[in-house]
Amino acid sequence: MYGTVARMRIRPDSEQEFARIVNEIEGIKAPGQLAVYVYKMDSTPHEYYMAVLFENRDAYHANARSPEQHQRFLKLMSVLEREPEWNDGEVVFAAI
């Protein structure tokens, strides 16, 4: 499995629009996508982390290069203070 953990900071007063965008994206499952989790930090109210999991690295990168994903990214950027901090990597342990 392969994926990313993204650190995001939304603009003040954008929380409802952020929730709307995330809910819209939630209904879309890219080929090879296994899961998406979005966390709101207790310690920093406008900071969120998003974990996205794919079957493998190729599926992850195919999604990242797709025009559809680029359009979703642009919508997300409309409520963020700056581009997310992306942390890509291979999953080496999972317990569910």
CATH number of 49's domain: 3.30.70.100
Domain count, the chain: 1
Asked if 65 and 30 touch (Cβ cutoff 8 Å), the reply is no
d(CA 90, CA 54) in angstroms, rounded, equals 10
Decide if 46 is inside a domain: yes
Decide if 95 is inside a domain: no
Decide if 68 is inside a domain: yes
Decide if 63 is inside a domain: yes
pLDDT score recorded for residue 26: 80
- Per-residue pLDDT reduced to its tens digit, 15-57: 999 999 998 888 889 999 999 999 999 999 899 999 999 999 9
Domain ranges, residue 80: 2-90
- Per-residue pLDDT reduced to its tens digit, 71-94: 999 999 999 999 999 999 999 999
Asked if 1 and 94 touch (Cβ cutoff 8 Å), the reply is yes
Decide if 96 is inside a domain: no
Q: How many CA atoms lie within 13 A of 87 on its CB side?
A: 9
